[in-house]
Structure 1
Amino acid sequence: MKKDIPFLLQKDAVFQEILNLYGEPYIGARPEGFVSLCKLIIEQQVSLASAKACFVKLESFLGTVTPTTILKASEIDLRNNGLSKQKANYLKALATAVVEKTLDLETLSQKEEAQIKKELTAVKGIGNWTAEVYMMFCLQKENVFPIGDIALQNTLKELYPVTTKEEMLSLAKKWEPQASLATYFFWHYYLKKRNRAPLVY
């Protein structure tokens, strides 16, 4: 994806400014599959640090995080290991979808973004943000713009005269087909400005 940095620099001077300030962005990568999706569900609307602590606790309790171990655990077990009632239900819904083969995680990478999003968001607890970040980090899809991400929204408001999601989506059109790389630039800016590093686990 980094090979396409010159494309963005040509499209928008803001990326050159970010590059001058903080260097090249970190491009996130996570393995495809069940564990990464579980992590993203746990990361919904919480800090990455607390999500990591929750996942580590859950993994320690289960031994391995698989559809089978999630389904065998009771809701009380899951809640006692850091999950909210809602997220415990979401992980069970995901595990059920994988076991019953209504969601085939192994074939997602071969499909178009719209189809991937449709299949992922059919599972209770997986919304647009989770599906989009999975596509970026796990499937390395190049033209994804997770507009529901708060850090992304805040950065765009800071760097451009935009206030609404509609304005942000319109702005993102000029970065296609490299919207994912543009997003990584903005996340990079957001973290570096706050002296924070990407959390990898």
Structure 2
Amino acid sequence: MADVLAGVTPVLPGWWKEACEELSKRDEKMAELINVYSHTALTSVQDPFGTLIRSVIGQQISTKAAQTIWRNFAAACPEMTPQRVAKKHRRTLRSCGLSERKIDYILDICRYFLEEKITFELLEGMSEQEIIDCLTSIKGVGRWTAEMFLIFTLGRQNVFPVADLGIIKAIEKLYFSAEELQALDAQQKQIKILKLSENWAPYKTAASWFLWRSLNNSPVRY
């Protein structure tokens, strides 16, 4: 979802230019993608609370439906803080289009922030795996959501969401022949994808972003 809260400014990661240069040197196909999409770049939105709320809203529904519910939610909660959202009546949250389960997830996110189990300062001092472990302890937050958080909120530079369907589709299209795909089972394919991704370290995040861009002309922002 591309909508960003008012007052929250997307930030270009400081490592972005170097990542593009290095990936272009190492990988011919990546160089082609970077050349095509050089006019745009990954930006991170440093809004941990809002990002997790958006991630829950977007689970298992279409992008269009998620955008509608997010806009309804933002209108119902113009001051989007854990304190304000936690005080909203469940009826108000349901009227935004949220299911009872997603309301439970959102209230659990509020609880984590109110109890200061998650702060931007705390997260910045953690490793990627520590952040994933922390976030996945919240109801409704899985590994994929935690990886999106690492990329689009914290701007971590070496994140590769290997289970992301878009990433898999892009790699299959760019790096595998039809014959190879037919010959590989799911486990073998994942091993080859992980091996391929090692060539992109320590800039796997940038590689992931360009792989997403290869499937969609709109800039990716979560």
TM-score normalised by structure 1 residue count? 0.86
Aligned to 1:172: 197
CA gap 1:33/1:21 in 2 versus in 1, 3 angstroms: closer
1:198 maps to amino acid: P
Compare 127-136 and 68-77 and name the one that shifted more.
68-77
Cα distance in 2 between the residues matched to 1:60 and 1:199: 23
Structure that is richer in helix per residue: 1
What SS is found at the alignment partner of 1:175?
A: coil
2:171 maps to amino acid: L
Cα distance in 2 between the residues matched to 1:101 and 1:167: 40
1:154 maps to amino acid: K
Cα distance in 2 between the residues matched to 1:103 and 1:23: 34
Alignment match of 2:175 (pick from 160, 165, 183): 160
Contact 1:44 1:130 in 2 (8 A): no
Compare 71-80 and 120-129 and name the one that shifted more.
71-80
CA offsets, 1:129-166, max 9 Å, x none?
11111111111100001223222221111112266333
CA gap 1:199/1:159 in 2 versus in 1, 3 angstroms: closer
Cα distance in 2 between the residues matched to 1:53 and 1:187: 23
CA drift of 1:200 comes to: 5.8
Q: Which sections of structure 1, spanning at least 5 residues, go unmatched?
A: none
Contact 1:34 1:105 in 2 (8 A): no
Cα distance in 2 between the residues matched to 1:50 and 1:149: 20
Cα distance in 2 between the residues matched to 1:27 and 1:17: 17
What SS is found at the alignment partner of 2:86?
A: helix
Contact 2:124 2:154 in 1 (8 A): yes
CA drift of 1:23 comes to: 3.5
Report how many aligned residue pairs link the two structures.
197
Alignment match of 2:135 (pick from 110, 113, 120): 120
Aligned to 2:12: none
CA offsets, 1:85-144, max 9 Å, x none?
222111111111111223334320122111111111111111111111111111110000
Alignment match of 2:154 (pick from 113, 116, 139): 139
CA gap 1:169/1:87 in 2 versus in 1, 3 angstroms: farther
Cα distance in 2 between the residues matched to 1:52 and 1:186: 23
CA gap 1:25/1:179 in 2 versus in 1, 3 angstroms: farther
Q: Does residue 56 in structure 1 map to residue 71 in structure 2?
A: yes
Compare 121-130 and 77-86 and name the one that shifted more.
77-86
CA offsets, 1:30-51, max 9 Å, x none?
1232112211222233344432
CA drift of 1:191 comes to: 0.9
Aligned to 2:207: 182
Cα distance in 1 between the residues matched to 2:220 and 2:173: 23
What SS is found at the alignment partner of 2:214?
A: helix
CA gap 1:125/1:36 in 2 versus in 1, 3 angstroms: same
Contact 1:26 1:188 in 2 (8 A): no
**TM-align CA RMSD:** 2.2
1:173 maps to amino acid: E
Alignment of 1:67-146 (within 5 A): 67-146=82-161
